[in-house]
Structure 1
Amino acid sequence: MSQENRLEKTNRINRLFDFYEPLLTEKQQMFLKYYFHDDFSLGEIASEFQISRQAVYEHIKRAEQVLEMYEEKLGLLSKYEHRIQDLEELNKTLYEAFGKIGESDEATLQHVHQIVNRLQEL
């Protein structure tokens, strides 16, 4: 797997983990944190828990499958990413409109922009 693909996969698992962490077992949470958040190798995790590298690999693969299953059924990450795209588009549209409105509307535009920014932070 190329470095770029590995990074893309790591980012996806971390985003899924942000949404579905509470639905994982404690062991799945721990292994995913060590592997994806803390960048531990399979060998380091195996040593820490006194199990084989293969067992660690299987736990991580299973946890990844569970995360993907939750995303397939609930779609929280997908909905979040679409919402962020829509908010960015709205923000861009507002700024494009900013040059076309009168100064009296500037306060309204700034208020709407603040709301968009708050929504993006959620």
Structure 2
Amino acid sequence: MENFLNQALLYDFYGGLLTLNQKRIYEEVVLNDYSISEVARDEGVSRQSVSDMIKRCSHILMEYENQLGLVDKFITTKKLAEKIKDISQILLESSLKNQDSETGSMLKELDRLAQMIMDIQ
């Protein structure tokens, strides 16, 4: 499952850099879970050529990630936003107990901003 999510993220970030043929075959096998045999039959090519294409595309996508690191930065940003959100929730609860409305409103805004970062896709 984790491998699928990683492949899907790589494709989301860098799939637009593949050729149309590479995108079509990669989507069918990796994202749509068609078998290599099904895709080979539909494309009129050998299973080996489809398998090679998938390996080549996976390698290309990983190379883009190794050079640019966008997926890693995305995941790190999401995790940091979640931490900010968790901390702001704790502080918000504390400020409500102490009836500190100014701090409470700032923490609500911080929580809202953290949620906006987490929602970026």
Runs of 5+ unmatched residues, structure 2: none
Distance in 2 of aligned mates of 1:100 and 1:11: 37
2:54 aligned with 1:60: yes
Partner of 1:22: 16
Q: CA RMSD in A?
A: 1.1
Partner of 1:103: 101
TM-score computed with the length of structure 2 as normaliser: 0.90
Q: Percent sequence identity over matched residues? A: 25
Partner of 1:120: 118
Partner of 1:93: 87
CA contact (8 A) 2:88 2:111 kept: yes
Aligned residues: 116
Shift of 1:31: 1.1
User: Among 63, 72, 76, which residue is 2:70 paired with?
Assistant: 76
SS in 1 for 2:85: helix
SS in 2 for 1:100: helix
Deviations 1:33-87 (A, max 9, x none): 1012211000000011000111000000000000000000000000000001110
Distance in 2 of aligned mates of 1:27 and 1:68: 18
User: Among 36, 45, 48, which residue is 2:42 paired with?
Assistant: 48
TM-score computed with the length of structure 1 as normaliser: 0.90
Distance in 2 of aligned mates of 1:8 and 1:120: 19
**Equivalent AA in structure 1 for residue 117 of structure 2:** L
